[in-house]
């Protein structure tokens, strides 16, 4: 459903939120290792998230990545939109440029329910809530 970059971006943000809650900045190497992602690919993803104003990056010996102020309010929808764009949430199931209730594609009416449910889940899921599961060992970022 999501691109590989988006999957890694979500996992990276959950890991950063987990560490941010403990007051720690994390390095690119730590992030990539924690989510089993190639460092160069992870760096590009983190750059997109920084440009979308979801992350801060600090240079120097005590540097690394951290959530922007108020990071606990970041929703999965913010991350997905920053990496994959809004079409994942709002686009046509068949990828048509224009698809609506008035001019539907063949799967429009069935896909609309799935897309609306996905949008609700992405908008209601906060980064902090997801990182809490990692904090207590109930959820995992890699196996």
Condensed to tens digits (0 to 9), the pLDDT of residues 9-49 reads 999 999 999 999 889 999 999 999 999 999 999 999 999 99
Query: Distance between CA atoms of 67 and 54, rounded to whole angstroms?
Result: 6
Distance CA 130, CA 21 (A): 12
* pLDDT tens string 52-91: 999 999 998 889 999 997 777 899 999 999 999 988 888 8
Predicted pLDDT of residue 38? 96
Burial 109-134 (b: 16+ CB within 10 A, else e): eebbeebeebeeebeebbbbebbbeb
Give, in words, the CATH class of 4-135: mainly alpha
pTM score of the predicted model:
0.90
């Amino acid at each position: 459903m999501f691109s590989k970059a988006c999957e890694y971006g979500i996992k990276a943000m959950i890991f950063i939120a987990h560490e941010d809650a403990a007051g720690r900045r994390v390095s690119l190497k730590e992030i990539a290792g924690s989510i089993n992602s190639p460092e160069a690919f992870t760096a590009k993803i983190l750059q997109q998230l920084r440009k979308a104003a979801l992350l801060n990056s600090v240079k120097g010996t005590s540097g690394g990545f951290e959530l922007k102020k108020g990071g606990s309010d970041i929703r999965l929808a913010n991350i997905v939109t920053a990496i994959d764009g809004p079409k994942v949430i709002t686009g046509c199931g068949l990828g048509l440029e224009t698809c609506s209730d008035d001019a539907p594609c063949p799967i429009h009416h069935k896909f609309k329910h799935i897309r609306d449910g996905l949008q609700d889940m992405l908008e209601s899921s906060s980064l902090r809530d997801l990182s809490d599961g990692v904090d207590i060992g109930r959820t995992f970022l890699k196996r």
